[in-house]
Chain A
Amino acid sequence: MRRTVPLWITAIAGVALVISAFLPATRGWGEDVATWFSILAAVAFVLGGGNLLKVHLRKISDRQSGWGYSSIVLACFFATLWVGLFKVGVHPNPKYPDVAYSGQTQGIGSPFWWLYEYAFKPLTSTMFAMLAFYVASAAFRAFRAKNVEAVLLLGTAFIILLGRTFAGVVLTGWIPADGAFAGLRLENLSVYVMQVFNTAGNRAIIIGIALGIASTSLKILLGIDRSYLGSGD
């Protein structure tokens, strides 16, 4: 029962989505399935929040290493929840100036907006900014000319990097822009590599992905692959 019901739900929802793609009269089925998923995901949010509390409260109560950070997580969690849920400090909507809760939670100047703009955004931007350093370290390793393939990769990267900078334009600027060898100018060469080699490789990967998606979907819909239910055999 525990396996059969999810299998049927998966099959019915999947088949409804497939049918709705081809039969216009059933177009609403796909939208209904998507709505049901959204409802489920919203309910699961409570599960997620509960799990977050459980994990961090346990860390604090057991005085595990880094329990202080857990207390910060919980304090921030409850502060944001309180500010957002109770519309703390929200300016009233101009249409209803006498109604205290008529304004938008995330309206400009509200505490929730302030938290988002001045606490959340800088933190996420900091994490994102670290990517630049990781790109440099990964490129350093990937571009070491260890074998023929790595040399080819290095050469291509060299062309692309130079072709997209002013240095590349200057280096091959002496080649006439409208002559027979204009294609050898670094800026043109980098466009050629991206449009021809890169696009061809990407499309090959995308075709494989599309076939893989179709095959995997079929196996899941027919219940051939049940490993997501923990019953692979």
Chain B
Amino acid sequence: MNGSTGSLRHRMATSLCGLAVVVSAGTALAAPPAPTDVRAADVGFDAGSRIRVEWNAVADSNLAGYSVFRSLTPGEIAAADRDSRVAFATAASEAARKARAAELVAEGVAPEDADRQAEQAAVEAGAAASREWRPETAEGEIRWTLAGVADPVDTTFDVDKLEDAEAYSFGVQAFDRDGAKSPIAATTAPASSEASAFDAKRLPLFLMLALLCGTVLLFISIARRGKPLKIRTIAGLAAVEEAVGRATEMGRSVLYINGIQDMDDLQTVAGVNILGRVAKIAAEYDARVEVPTSRSLVMTAARETVQGSYLSAGRSDNYNPDLIYYVTDEQFGFVAYVSGMMVREKPAACFYMGAFFAESLILAETGNSIGAIQIAGTAMPSQLPFFVAACDYTLIGEEFFAASAYLSGQPDQLGSLKGQDMGKLLVGAILLIGVAMATVAAVTNSETISAGVSFLKNTLLGT
């Protein structure tokens, strides 16, 4: 009985081993062939950090795609080895600590004392493990990292986020729908990326910018030659003089808030430009302009601007630098100060010109509650509804940037506004063309027009 059972077990084991060999051989046979002629080269006319990998397509009806690998750089290998060594040593140290602590507890040592006494064993085990640790791959062997996955129809793949001038090897591995993978086919020579003199991806943006700037300059030149230009009335700017005049009549101050961003934000610069115009009107009316700022640089710039305005108005004696002062960089600290000041001093006119965030409504509502005439201007779309709801006049987006030119009334400044309008015409035309093309592409399923829409969206407007 025992003999026949043993024989049966032996036969079953042999059959199972045979089955395993067949399955293994079947899997090996089903794996797609490795791609051939894998080559890599720097992508030209780009900002660098990108290499194009190419290979010959694999003929396999079950192919699901290609995994593209790149070699790790020496720096990345060192970092990975360091992490691996630390993890290995830490694990060994912890295991030794637990084992030694358990031994000590078994010997009758109190658990808290056992932990402390096991520390030495943990340190020694960690140090030994760190010395024993060896990298998983042999020295000189390429260490791969997955760079991306390509579709089965693709034979090229752009690997980006590379370090320029660093030599990389690339490997491509085919895989099928069953998950079988080919061996990695590597490039024969390493490749490195470099930045070109001009980034071709930015060419459309450059051309659009050149066209827009050219239009602005053309209209400035036309204006300088004396051709009259008609600019529509902007209610908010027409009300500036009225607001300053009201403050003068009431014997109260004009409050000017220049946003809460620094001078590297163009909204702040635009706000300072408008401050120059407002201060000049205030100087002529002999009104008091108070400018609390949330950035030191803005305070310095605002002082220069207001001083220049008083000078050009012929009232330099009336200029008081102490009315332009720094409060705090902190958003709500600034709001707390300005709101309190508004309630206490009740300025007759409040200007909010610059970049604002959550504080916009707090300031504007406080100004509304004290009955001040309020004019706001910002290029923060999310804050515009708050200003519209709480202020008397709001300069929306482009009006805010046009304000300085509008208030100056100088021909060349007004010419720039006309140039801006031409830019709007250009954008409008591109919009109409894009909408028409997208509609036609959707109706006709034309691949050519779809490619055109894609070019408009991703290349022309996508950079």
Contacts and interface: CB of A to CB of B under 8 A. Distances in A.
A225 B296 contact: no
Contacts of A202: 381
Interface string B200-236: 0010011001001100110010000000000000000
Given A208-B397, A214-B213, A229 B304 contact: yes
Contacts of A207: 424, 427
A118 interface: no
A230 B330 contact: no
B169 interface: no
Interface in B372-390: 379, 381, 384, 386, 388-390
A77 to B, nearest CB: 10
A48 B324 CA distance: 11
B305 interface: yes
Nearest to B293: A48
A205 B269 contact: no
Nearest to B417: A215
Interface stretch (B88-96, B308-316, B440-448): B308-316
A23 B199 contact: yes
Given A40-B297, A205-B397, A211-B424, A228 B269 contact: yes
B interface secondary structure, majority? helix
A224 to B, nearest CB: 6
Interface string A45-68: 111100110010000000000100
Contact of B397 (A40, A139, A209, A228): A209
A212 B197 contact: no
A146 interface: no
Contacts of A131: 358, 361-362
Contacts of A55: 322, 325
A40 B335 CA distance: 25
A205 B307 contact: no
Contacts of B296: 41, 44-48, 51
Contacts, number: 206
A25 interface: yes
A134 B288 CA distance: 28
Contact of A225 (B263, B368, B384, B413): B413
B262 interface: yes
Contact of A228 (B199, B272, B328, B333): B272
Contacts of B318: none
Contacts of B412: 224
Interface stretch (B72-80, B123-131, B398-406): B398-406
A98 interface: no
Interface stretch (A88-96, A102-110, A121-129, A178-186): A121-129
10 contacts: A40-B297, A123-B336, A131-B358, A205-B384, A205-B396, A212-B397, A215-B416, A227-B272, A228-B272, A232-B309
Given A124-B330, A138-B361, A138-B364, 5 more contacts: A44-B297, A208-B397, A218-B213, A225-B404, A230-B311
